[in-house]
Amino acid sequence: MAARLLAVLILAGLGPTNTASEDRAALLTFLAGIEVRSRRALPNWGSPSLCNWTGVSCRYKSPLSTVVKLDLGGLNLRGTMSPWIANLSALEVLDLSHNLFVGRIPPELGSLANLRQLSLSSNLLAGTIPPELGVLNHLVYLDLGGNRLAGEIPKSLFCNSTNSMRYIDLSDNSLRGEIPLGVDCRLVHLQFLLLWSNELHGQIPLSLSNSSQLEWIDLESNYLGGGLPPHLFDKFPNLLILYLSYNNHTSDDLDPFLVSLSNCSQLQELELAANNLHGVIPPSVGALSVNLSQLHLEENFIAGPIHPNISSLVNLTYLNLSNNVLNGSIPPEISGLRRLERLYLSNNRLTGEIPSSIGEIHHLGLLDISSNDLSGTIPDTFAELSQLRWLLLHHNRLSGPIPVSLGGCTNLEKLDLSHNQLTGRIPAEVAGLQSLKLYLNLSNNKLQGHLPMELSKMDMVLALDLSSNNISGIIPPQLTSCVALEYLNLSSNDIVGQLPRSIGTLPYLKVLDLSCNRVTGGIPDSLASSSTLRKLNLSVNNFTGVVPKAGVFNSLPLSSIAGNPYLCGHIAGMKPCTTNHSTHHHSFLRILLPAIGTPCLLLFLLVGYPTMKKRPGIRKCHLPSFRRPVLERNGDAEIFHSRSYPRISYRELVEATGGFSERCLVGSGRFGRVYEGTLRGGEKIAVKVLDLKTGGGDTGGSFKRECEVLGRTRHRNLIGIVTACSRPDFKALVLPLMPNGSLERWLYPTSGERHGWNLEVLVSVATDVAEGMAYLHHYSPVRVVHCDLKPSNVLLDRDMTAVVADFGIARLVKGGGSGEEEEDGGDAARLASCGFSTAGLLHGSVGYIAPEYGLGGHPSTNGDVYSFGVLLLEIITGKRPTDVIFHEGLTLHEWVRRHYPHNLESVLMHPNRLNLNLTLPSSEEENLPYRKKVEREVIIELVELGLACTQHTPSMRPTMADIAHEMAALKHELALAIQPEKLLDL
């Protein structure tokens, strides 16, 4: 409003004037139509010197000056684009990208005869593209991507005979119709054509061949069809990138198309995935550019063998032939691809043995040849793949023992040999692979012998599945050294003995399946005390005694406990427990306790009391070295000042939490446990008590980092701190209690829990998280990289306001971008990263860790952006990223990307958890109610934002500031749709 008032006053003659009156009037009228959300955005607009205004550049022609450039990109401006911009008659550059502009693109822009660059990308612009833009004869650069533009692409945009266009980006909109490039169109200077993610149909225009200077063509994720043009691309000597994936292209013979591409001697990336391609891989595949680094042919119907000529592509780093109908054997010549880093051959019909020559591809980091019909043994030469991180051989007919040599793959994070015919014991060398961080799956084989003790060395593995084998012996208690374990499946084996109590103390365990074994003894109470356990199957064993009544057992179905004839308990359908034995037991105790009570009391007084006297006295818990800003109100004014943290005694914390009792436990993690408590004054608190013995070796550092971050930052979307307690034997953080728990609890409620979860709440929570993270990255007194953003670290207060919590592995950094440096010095700090600590422990959570951290990358805000993107996709789809990794072999980004944009319904959260009409019609869109239209657009925007944040290349991800702006805009738009009367204010 301030900006609008200023503009009105100046236009009314109440402000300073300038000789360039027309340009000044045009800019002030433009200013009147927008909302400036930050005073720093346009601080000097309205000052006497027009050419000193932010974003304004002039060309001086005495005695007048004219505006030639208006660059207001990324300033978080909101509003509409005034047609008065067209009065800037000398304008050459107009950049309003990365803002929140709504409404239509003014057709008056077509009168800017000198315009060379028009950048309106990443806004909320709707309507059609004005045909008038096609008359801008000097336009070189046009970027309208990332908006909500609809309708057809004006023919005038591509068919101006004097067109000098070099760059056209209309991607990520809702444009329909055909690509309007007729035979009379000659974009002879065009180098970049980006039309991906629209609703374009028809064929690729043959007249595109007139644009022989093209370097980058991206038409993926449309409805383009017809046969692949056999002679179109042989006239592009400078072509580097060709993306045609996720369309409806057809072909029964790939040879003519690949032959035409052989003339593109500079080609680096070719994507033809998810089309309707048939035929075989022809010999001409080897004639493609020697510079080719990526080849995507997955999700088609390509048959026949893998032609050995593919080995001629010696610079290939990525080859994906998965999800086709390829047959025959894997050619040994594939080892000629010595620079290959990722090889996908899964879900085909390949037969024969795995060639041992694959061990010669020393850069190979991922090998997926699962779901084929391969036989023979696993080659010993895999041990030579020193960079191998993922090895997926499941669902084949492989036989023989697991090679001991696999233990030499010391970087292996994910090993899946399930659903084969492997025999023998699990080698100790493989069981002791400390590098495994995702999962080890050896299920559905014919493995024998005992569980190796070396399994306890896998302290970072997330899932362990050894089910459906012939494994015997007991469950070793040392298995609890696998402290990161979330999923443990030992079902359908021949395991005997008792279930160790320590299994229930695994801090992250969510799924435990021991069904169909011969386990005996009682069910450990630790399973009932686990705050993380969600699924439990103990059926068909020999358990005895009473079924516990707490924790996961409150919602356990009878099928999960059936087949244990000596169990009794409260579960519907079970036999109830008799009371005779219990009565006798209690009577015995009533006789025994008085007899032993007095001697024990005397022994305690004589031995224990002197020890107690020597203990230090009660000390107050506080943070003496940190002060925080406190917001107080004085009338209408907000005053910030600092004060020391309140002092709370250790005894008060004990009283508040019932002696840190299990009934007050609300969560647990690697570094400790969180208890709910009530102080003497009635204040509800959460006490995070750090485990000094089993906290992973960095408990002290975690405590220090949390104190440092919480003591130096303050924001409504970051967890506050009441105080902290630090003693040699006890360290705890006292935090305000969040009544609605964690975001994870709302996304994945336990049985019997139901939460109201709709799009409005989803967007509000995601906006809160984005605002909190943007503050950490861009605005706090010291920049902070969180390193572990995930739903369990997002807490919700009484009003469902989200706050980011758990800064135990955060990093304080100087600078920004990829060049960030850690503020806290020391060798350990310099070597540590968000992905892995100096001790080799997993820092961060699997599924949320940015891919560059797995390659030794240092902590960066880009990594947090990746984690936010995963979180956003998770709350939209309702799928944990680890579920996708375990069952699909994909990252959540890859899984969603496969269904985007034409099959989004299949990835959206189930209707009973997200109260929406999940169909996203396109052809009937005009008949949708206004609110449903907006909801549809918001959902698509959220998916697109999540995909943008989780791009593999860190530099391609948006910043948290940009993300927060986008989320705020979506929240605002959704609020208007829910309350239509607010539209009257626009």
Residue 775, burial from CB neighbour count under 10 angstroms (0-12, 13-18, 19+): buried
CA atoms within 13 A on the CB side of 264: 30
Helix (H, G, I), strand (E, B) or coil at 723: strand
Instruction: Tell me which amino acid residue 185 is.
Output: C
Phi, psi angle pair for 346, to nearest 5°: -70, 160
Beta-carbon contacts of 682 under 8 Å, excluding residues fewer than 6 positions away, are: none
CB burial of 150-184 (b: ≥16 within 10 Å; e: otherwise) equals beebbbbbbbbeebebbbbbbbbbbbbebbbbeee
CA atoms within 13 A on the CB side of 237: 0
CA gap 589, 523 in Å, rounded: 23
Angle at which helix 861-877 crosses helix 960-978, to 10 degrees, equals 30
Q: How far is CA 167 from the centre of its chain?
A: 31
Query: How does strand 472-473 pair with strand 637-643?
Result: unpaired
| Annotated binding-site residue? 688 | yes
CA gap 309, 280 in Å, rounded: 13
CA gap 268, 239 in Å, rounded: 8
Q: What is the DSSP letter of 960?
A: H
Q: What is the DSSP letter of 353?
A: B
CA gap 777, 793 in Å, rounded: 17
Question: Would residue 883 show up in a list of annotated catalytic residues for this protein?
Answer: no
Which of 769, 972, 969 minimizes the C-alpha distance to 865?
769
Quote the Cα angle for 555-559-563, to 5°.
125
CA gap 526, 162 in Å, rounded: 77
Direct distance between the N- and C-terminal alpha carbons of the chain, in angstroms, rounded to an integer: 12
In sequence order, what DSSP letters do the residues of 605-638 get, joined into one string? IIIIHHHHHTSPPP-EE--TT--EEEEEEETTEE
Quote helix, strand, coil % in the chain, to nearest 5.
Answer: 30, 20, 50
* Encoded tokens for 465: 């599945």
Among candidate residues 368, 788, 806, 864, the one labeled active-site is: 788
Q: Which residues are annotated as a binding site?
A: 688
Extract the annotated binding site for ATP: 688
Catalytic residues: 788
